Structure 1
Amino acid sequence: MKKAFAIFLAFAALSISASELRVTVPLLSKHYFCASNQCLDLNETNLGVGVEYASYGVIGFENSYSRQSVAAYKRFEYDMNPYMGLGIRLGGVTGYKEESGMDVVPLAQPYLRVLPIDWFSFNIGVVPVGLIDTKNYNLVVTIDSQISF
């Protein structure tokens, strides 16, 4: 969490265009297709903080195994109308070495963006976990919120 806050402050100190900055707050996740009730032991409250600028983002959060993770990504998004959009985050995430054997695992997170008001949105995403931990579960649905400046 300290790393995420430091990253947030670094981005906040930049002189940036208002429409290109988003602050992201990861909220929760739900794990599906679990082997022998393994999902019961997973953390589904994934609080953290992140920032996006010009479609590039960094998020620090508590992952499903209650370990600190940092994700870095590039966002691609399509606005279907003023209140809804489709997107995907592509990049890498730390914190899953015990499950995957890798320091950084690939991240591919498609999501639906819902904008109840023009500066605030919820992102409902899915993360196929093929490289992280297919022994315990196969899919994670995530929810995060974003404030646009």
Structure 2
Amino acid sequence: MKKAFAILLAFAALPNSASEFRVTLPLASKHFYCASNQCIDLNESNLGVGVEYASYGVIGFENSYSRQSVAAYKTFEYDMNPYLGLGIRLGGVTGYREESGMDVVPLAQPYLRVLPIDWLSFNFGLVPVGLIDTKNYNLVVTLDTQISF
């Protein structure tokens, strides 16, 4: 835990190229790599809404188990060019107590950011779910969109 906290603090010291204020709309997810023969059908329409300000964000959404979840995080982004960027969200998320035994599970979501126009982005993320549920799926690909102000 001390190493994870030290890594988080090191990332917090990095500059962030994000816009100051964004509205985030979670859209969908796709679950991959079922770890057992007893895989369950999970919700892959994860609608919700969130806000980001100065790289800190909060999102409310319907999670893969059709429960309400709230994620709080800090983003770190690198713009490769005006239309593409890389980022990661680091924080915690609620709504997975039945699977993990924890009220808040760690969130580490790297993503590819596609910006077709300067105020709109589509984020394609990867969430390794080993901390949440190792019995069903090992990877979730996510899609959300952000509007920058």
TM-score normalised by structure 1 residue count: 0.86
Alignment of 1:21-60 (within 5 A): 21-34=21-34, 35-36=36-37, 38-39=39-40, 41-60=41-60
How many aligned positions are there? 130
Q: SS at the partner of 1:144?
A: strand
Deviation of residue 37 (structure 1)? 5.7
Where does structure 1 differ by over 4 angstroms across 4 or more consecutive aligned residues?
none
Q: For 2:112 and 2:58, how far apart are their aligned partners in 1?
A: 19
Q: For 1:72 and 1:36, how far apart are their aligned partners in 2?
A: 33
Q: SS at the partner of 2:43?
A: coil
Alignment of 1:102-117 (within 5 A): 102-117=102-117
Q: For 1:88 and 1:99, how far apart are their aligned partners in 2?
A: 24
- Structure 1's unaligned 5+ residue stretches are 1-18
Q: Percent identity?
A: 85
Which residue is equivalent to 1:6?
A: none
TM-score normalised by structure 2 residue count: 0.86
Q: Cα RMSD over matched residues?
A: 0.8
Q: SS at the partner of 1:38?
A: coil
| Deviation by residue 1:97-133 (Cα, 9 ceiling, x = unmatched) | 0000000000000000000000000000000011100
Which residue is equivalent to 1:143?
A: 143
Whichever structure has more helix as a proportion of its residues is 1
Which residue is equivalent to 2:72?
A: 72
